[in-house]
A and B are shown apart, each in its own frame.
Chain A
Amino acid sequence: MKTVDLSTASVRELNQALHGQAQQLTERDWAITHPAGKHNIGVGIDEALKIDIHGHAGYYCAGMNKKANVTIHGNVGVGVAENMMSGSVRVKGNASQSAGATAHGGLLVIEGDAGARCGISMKGVDIVVKGSIGHMSCFMGQAGRLVVCGDAGDNLGDSLYEVRLYVKGAVKSLGSDCIEKEVRPEHLIELAALLAQAGVDEKPENFKRYGSARELYNFKVDNAAAY
């Protein structure tokens, strides 16, 4: 295991070392100490590394991640795992706004709460939040699944496309064109698999499902004539 101490090394040095592993793999197991809320830790990794960040991280932690499994033993700032492509990111504490924003793939697990705009414009990532999420979460979510074991804030799933939302607690309000939907057997199977993958001990039967009503302009075939 290689340890990088961010009280002495710069984030740029760390990230270049991690990027270098995609060219020549010399070390799979990394520990990062003294993150002290620094931004951009572990951004742009492109190799199946195991990374443990011991402490609180700042903005965009593990952004654009490909293949790596990153665990943050603390809280994270804005945009954790934003634009993640594959692999996994696990936050042991809370996450700030825009967790998993625009992410295409992989699994993001937040063991605490996530702030506003969790999963905004998500494009295929799976997000599991053990706590609650803030307002405007999953705005314009295009693909993937978002599971929330706590509550959701205002305007959940506004202008949603194809993301499937599962919320166990209360939803303060649904956004435009987001509706509650029937939970069918295939959804229980899907949800059970997601909860198991995230290591979360919850019963799928206790969740409600939400999704797009597909009533907004872009969903109406008649509007195709406008082009």
Chain B
Amino acid sequence: MCGIVGLYLKNRALEPQLGKLFEPMLLAMTDRGPDSAGFAIYGDEVPDGAIKLTLQTHDADYDWEKLVAALEARLGSRLDWFQNATAAVLKSTAAEADLRGALADIAPEIRVMSAGQSIEILKGMGLPTEVTERFTLKNMQGTHIIGHTRMATESAVTMEGSHPFSTGADLCLVHNGSLSNHFRLRQELRREGITFETENDSEVAAGYLTWRLQQGDTLAEALDHALQDLDGFFTFAIGTKNGFAVIRDPIACKPAVLAETDDYVAMASEYQALSSLPGIENARVWEPDPATLYVWERQ
């Protein structure tokens, strides 16, 4: 199974409440995914030329201060950073490759969850309520957010196997479904230079999109190719720097429902995840068509 949810705010006045509006949506999908949960929140954007990395560790007592000091010494520049439970967000004006290189040298055990100007991916094992409490989702602000509750079928329940998966700068993916050709596709993508951290089928979908985008595809083109090359069941929600997109496979076995008001666009695996949103009674609520791309982006 698995549950996926997304919330994109059209009304900027709601941005301080993004986490508060989104938390009940994610928790409503606990029945569909009690193993682990995660979300990608967009906001607190760093300026052009700067980069924001979200890092995560399994070690609750990890000494982030020591890591940051070592990174600053290596890079020769100051890092702006904060810790959130088992994660830390680093903001830097160093080149992304230098920052990643230094991190891989100094602390290879640290996982980079996301990179970009706006995105922060936070995820982990446990009931969705444990994950949202861990990272204090309800106090978070931002422009849009997508999330996932996981009931694992294709690979192990781990923090790394939780969604969302990063697919490039400020891009990420959550997946409900299962892919049949992920083994072969992973091999092919490895030959193309894409790296994978898990045996997870959804990570292959994320890697596939990363590869297509590297080939010069727009997001719409990459998803169009995905419809051809991914064999299996999927409803994807894709977070982008300025919005989010939803696409279902041509057979549309996996559920999805969309809702739109003047204030927001929301998606969920089931309507009950939308029922806590303000004004949902009068929202336009509909089921997205199969093999059809839906995109909402702030210009």
Contact = CB atoms under 8 A, between A and B. Distances in A.
Interface of A: 36-39, 55-56, 58-59, 75, 77-78, 93-94, 96-97, 113, 115-116, 134-135
A94 B288 CA distance: 12
Size band of the interface chain B makes with A: 10 to 19
A97 B252 contact: yes
A96 B255 CA distance: 9
Contact of A115 (B272, B273, B274, B287): B287
B285 A58 contact: no
B113 interface: no
A38 B271 CA distance: 8
Contact of A77 (B252, B270, B289): B270
A116 B250 CA distance: 11
A56 B275 contact: yes
Given A59-B270, A96-B287, 16 more contacts: A36-B275, A37-B272, A55-B281, A75-B285, A77-B255, A77-B257, A77-B271, A94-B286, A96-B255, A96-B257, A97-B252, A97-B255, A115-B252, A134-B252, A134-B289, A135-B252
A97 B252 CA distance: 9
Interface centre among A36, A39, A134 (most CB of B within 10 A): A36
A199 B155 CA distance: 51
Contacts of A113: 286
Interface string B267-297: 0001111110000010001110110000000
B286 to A, nearest CB: 6
Given A96-B255, A96-B257, A36 B272 contact: yes
Contacts of B274: 37
Contact of B270 (A37, A93, A116, A135): A37
Contact of B272 (A58, A93, A134): A58
Nearest to A35: B275
Interface in B164-207: none
A56 B287 CA distance: 13
Contacts of B257: 77, 96
Contacts of A56: 271, 275, 285
Contacts of B273: 37
B285 A38 contact: no
Interface string B245-261: 00000001001010000
Contacts of A77: 255, 257, 270-271
Interface in B86-138: none
B272 A94 contact: no
Given A78-B255, A135-B290, A94 B275 contact: no
Contacts of B270: 37, 39, 58-59, 77
Contacts of B275: 36-37, 56
19 contacts: A36-B275, A37-B275, A38-B272, A39-B270, A56-B275, A56-B285, A58-B270, A58-B271, A75-B271, A75-B285, A77-B255, A77-B270, A77-B271, A78-B255, A96-B257, A96-B287, A115-B287, A116-B252, A134-B290
